[in-house]
Structure 1
């Protein structure tokens, strides 16, 4: 745990791997924290300096009242980069973190060498937008505990949940480390997502990853379309995984990242 002052607040970060190696920055999704990337540290730190960031209002990062915006979330990340001396980095993000990854690539193309947006959206559609008002209402009444089971269940197929009770317990604990302001603020940010018309601007190499069983967060068809729209994109589907596909199959996600980075 390291707290870095950025954009007027303290942001929790974790750094691993050899100093001087190329940077890889991991951006978490809503109600996620740096622990969601732990399984990838052994595979990446032979060759990369890995930076994991807790989003505003999540886990040990400071919380501020909503609303949040993608400008605010990207400014948080860029402030961390400036404090840590990150001049150039690959960026990986899932869900809201995937949206933030794309927002960073649009704002700071000279800083970002490659991106891996995973299971995310670049524009609102009715079935995705409809998820969030009930979650806002339930969390307002019952707190984060009121949405923890619903959220964890939505992320993973039943077969995974039944086979990995300990892991599901840790995932619920991770969700509960989110502040109510952080949750509501990040929902407001993701409901503002509107990057579809700007995707053709992205020229850096981009790998778009989807879980085959994710039907809402960032389905395969959506991620494929993104890959076809940017200038230098490709798509990979991870079989038998839902929305949080990196946790469901860490080895496959490791292989995807390393193969992509090594091809650059």
Structure 2
């Protein structure tokens, strides 16, 4: 990709990357920024096809998405980062850690997978078809039902509405391109090579990437820590920010409480 990704930098200290999920953008991390900006120079970027980054037509691969991120970091002269990510961003993080092990100092993988079984791959084909025919309206309701527990909309209408608008604002070409990358993603046989300290977190009610997937990732990475987030589904950092931030602070050895 010749065009550069959109990104923002804030805070001070060693570098930390925040990578978002499919059908969102770098604003997804608003509940984590107050904590992390006290301790890190935080770089948030919009993944290819999302937010203000370019959305070329066609299928993307996870390798390409990882190369985008590596090029961004190298372009900023960044040689070492802590990578904190959810879902698609955490898939990209796994590939970056495998391709450039010296680049990733610590890795936080939230609500993600190392590869889907065939039935889930078929579901991705259906979602891609929905977006091809109906745009983001074709997947917004199903996405929200997977992302949040029942009742979240009633308890937190502002948060829910913000995420709904984020989904609808996603470029359909970006969703389709990244959807192909997610469908075809599989590093299950390689994650044992990830050598940096790793935290794997997942919402206990995550339907999109169920807890057993996260347990499998944690079991495959030497020394990885596994945390189950109560009363949360796929967007656990949004749904249970206090719990998520507390676990993040412990793993990153932050002195201040979140």
1:121 to 2:113 alignment:
yes
Match of 1:237, SS state, is strand
Show structure 1 runs of 5+ residues with no match. 1-6
Match of 2:17, SS state, is strand
Q: Structure 1 residue 149: deviation in Å?
A: 2.1
> In structure 2, what is the Cα distance between the partners aligned to 1:16 and 1:128?
37
Q: Structure 1 residue 243: deviation in Å?
A: 0.4
Q: Superposition pairs for residues 61-72 of structure 1, below 5 Å? A: 61-72=53-64
Q: Structure 1 residue 141: deviation in Å?
A: 1.2
Quick one: which of 165, 180, 185 aligns to 2:157? 165
Partner of 2:133: 141
Partner of 1:234: 225
Match of 2:6, SS state, is strand
1:12 to 2:3 alignment:
no
CA contact (8 A) 1:212 1:242 kept: yes
Q: Superposition pairs for residues 29-48 of structure 1, below 5 Å? A: 29-48=21-40
1:251 to 2:245 alignment:
no
1:220 to 2:214 alignment:
no
The two structures have a TM-score, normalised by structure 1, of: 0.92
CA contact (8 A) 2:4 2:72 kept: no
Task: Spell out, residue by residue over 1:42-101, the C-alpha distance to the aligned partner (whole angstroms, 9 max, x if none).
Answer: 011111111111011101111101210112101111111122221100111111111111
CA RMSD of aligned residues (A): 1.3
Partner of 2:104: 112
Task: Spell out, residue by residue over 1:3-44, the C-alpha distance to the aligned partner (whole angstroms, 9 max, x if none).
Answer: xxxx411311121102xx111101111101011101111011
Partner of 1:260: 251
Partner of 1:4: none
CA contact (8 A) 1:118 1:218 kept: no
Partner of 2:169: 177
1:195 to 2:187 alignment:
yes
Task: Spell out, residue by residue over 1:88-116, the C-alpha distance to the aligned partner (whole angstroms, 9 max, x if none).
Answer: 00111111111111011000100100111
> In structure 2, what is the Cα distance between the partners aligned to 1:146 and 1:223?
28
Show structure 2 runs of 5+ residues with no match. none
**Greater displacement, 139-148 / 52-61:** 139-148
> In structure 2, what is the Cα distance between the partners aligned to 1:101 and 1:251?
23
Task: Spell out, residue by residue over 1:210-249, the C-alpha distance to the aligned partner (whole angstroms, 9 max, x if none).
Answer: 000013x222222112111111211001100000100001
Match of 1:242, SS state, is coil
Task: Spell out, residue by residue over 1:179-209, the C-alpha distance to the aligned partner (whole angstroms, 9 max, x if none).
Answer: 1110000011011111011111111101000
> In structure 2, what is the Cα distance between the partners aligned to 1:11 and 1:177?
17
The two structures have a TM-score, normalised by structure 2, of: 0.95
